[in-house]
Copies of this chain bind each other. A is one copy, B any other.
Amino acid sequence: MTYNKITGDILAQFTNIVGNDAILTSPAEIADYSHDETEDLVYYPEVVVKPQTVEQVSQLMKICNEQLIPVTPRGAGTGLAGGALAVNGGLMISMERFNHILDIDEQNLQATVEPGVITELFMNAVAEKGLLYPVDPASKGSCFIGGNVANCSGGPRVVKYGTIREYVLNLEVVLPTGEVIWTGANTLKYASGYNLTQLLIGSEGTLGIVTKIVTKLIPRPTLDALMLASFPSNEDACAAVSAIFRAGVVPSGLEFMERRGIEWVIEHDGITFDLKDGIEAFLLIEADGTNQEVIFADCEKINEVLEQHNCQDVLFADTSAQKEELWRIRRTMAVSVKSNSIYKEEDTVVPRAALPKLIKGIKEIGAKYGFESVCYGHAGDGNLHVNIIKAGMSDDDWNNKLKDGITEVFELTVALGGTLSGEHGIGLVQKGFMHLKYTPIHFAIWKGIKAIFDPNGILNPGKIF
């Protein structure tokens, strides 16, 4: 695809649409928009605009579509797969001024929200009304809900409450041609033609720019319990995971953490934690609900399972402060690990009982290629984040040989019935591995769908495939 540069004339048109105060053109101004949270990748767009109405987005898209200018939609820039990087330059449309919660409908338990709302602010706003929007990625304090939709983002509560697919009911979308549609209806059920809402979720900003999101809300659980279980091996911890469900309990959080991850958090965040010898892995397990007895009963069942799986110690959080501290360890782990070294993060997902084999295999592959890895993630969903640390690796090994190691990690993931990404998306950095799982038929279908929505290929080009 050949794209055009943004000329002075086109820039004037953009300025005319969004106003002088909502357009950035100098590299200094644009620097913040040149990267997301993916490794150390940097790509500068030519121009950044910050529209605040659907009409403005539509007008911008029409011009770019006619002039063949690549467009990169941008949320908060917290993505981990390079989905929001302007790899072809062009125009970046930042959705940061679409930051309004338009409606929290307490009669229907639905909300209408703009894509630039920070996920946690939205969660708090509905919580104030006794309601729950449970899709809370680790980056909830900074990521946008629009980015969550684009990447089919998850978080620890997916294990009980389901993915973002189960909460997004309807989307207002500006298509690459500038046309505006609602993808579906504001209904809990939908059997009225191919489901475009579901197609847009997880499409990583390649099919359209979301301008309004209608979500389902549910009654908020009022109580919870949190425990941290320690194990002598990764395999023991992972094996306990599927046994917990088999015992009839669906926890509201079931997170795996390697010892090495905890060590890095202790080291870099100054968290006090008594890390005992002989412990290699932890499960952070939350049970929530509206009845204390039921939660206790769930915890007892979980405890029995843990005992059967060689669990060495269970720490119950007694206070809100203790709970917050334990969750903080899990939430800051990514940042702690990454602050210390160049890294690559993979987002493997497998059927949950395959976790022991996955983690064992990852360590073996690491030994073969000489990379260190720190693993943690949403074990209840079979979703393991694998942080590959450069540490002592030579630049040559890191730049030239690591790809083969990652290929083996993904080959193992696929062989175990899994896929490349559970909740981070494919974006720029994983697309080179997609052929490990998908056939030319899949690629042909995806490209066909892309061409329907975006005949000129201007929207977020170079992502996914």
Q: Please report A residues at the B interface, Cβ cutoff 8 Å.
A: 105-110, 130, 151-154, 158-159, 162-163, 165-166, 175, 179, 181, 184-196, 198-199, 201-203, 207, 218-220, 242, 245-250, 289-291, 293-294, 297, 347, 349-354, 378, 381-383, 414, 417-426, 430, 434, 437-439, 441-442, 444-446, 448-449, 451-453, 464-465
Closest 8 CB pairs of A and B: A448-B452, A107-B353, A189-B422, A185-B419, A198-B198, A219-B248, A108-B351, A152-B191
Q: A193 touching B448 by the CB < 8 A rule? A: no
Q: Considering only CB atoms, which chain B residue lies closest to A243 in the complex?
A: B107
| Residues in chain B near residue A218, CB distance under 8 A | 245, 250
Q: A195, B192: Cβ atoms under 8 Å?
A: no
Residue of B nearest to A425 (CB): B191
- Taking a contact as CB atoms closer than 8 A, the residue among B163, B188, B289, B426 that contacts A189 in the complex is B163
Pick from B165, B194, B419, B441: contact of A446, CB under 8 Å: B194
Whether A196 pairs with B353 at a CB distance below 8 angstroms is no
Q: Which residue of B lies closest to A175 (CB)?
A: B441
Asked if residues A445 and B192 are in contact (CB atoms below 8 Å), the reply is: no
Minimum C-beta distance from A208 to chain B (A)? 10
Bound CA span A203–B290, Å: 38
**Nearest Cβ in chain B — how far from A296, in angstroms?**
10
Interface CB pairs A-B, < 8 A, 19 = A108-B353, A109-B245, A152-B189, A152-B190, A162-B162, A163-B188, A163-B189, A165-B195, A175-B441, A189-B378, A191-B347, A192-B438, A193-B464, A194-B446, A198-B198, A219-B248, A219-B249, A294-B294, A445-B452
- For the complex, give the distance between the alpha carbons of A189 and B453 in Å: 25
Min CB–CB distance A107 → chain B (angstroms): 4
Contact B446 A186 (CB under 8 A): no
Q: Which residue of B lies closest to A130 (CB)?
A: B248
Given A189-B422, A190-B419, 13 more pairs with CB closer than 8 A: A105-B351, A108-B242, A154-B191, A165-B166, A185-B349, A185-B418, A187-B349, A187-B422, A191-B423, A192-B425, A219-B248, A289-B294, A290-B294
Query: Is the beta-carbon distance between B246 and A107 smaller than 8 angstroms?
Result: yes
Of the candidates B189, B352, B438, the one whose C-beta lies within 8 Å of that of A423 is B189
CB contacts (< 8 Å) of A414 on chain B: these are 185
Bound Cα distance A159, B111 (Å) = 18
A84 to chain B, nearest CB (A): 14
A110 touching B351, Cβ below 8 Å: yes
**B185 and A434 contact, CB distance less than 8 A:** no
CA distance A186 to B416 in the complex (A): 9
For A110, the chain B residues whose CB sits under 8 A away are 351
B187 near A418 with CB under 8 A, answer yes
Residues of B within 8 A of A190 (CB): 152, 202, 349, 419, 421-422
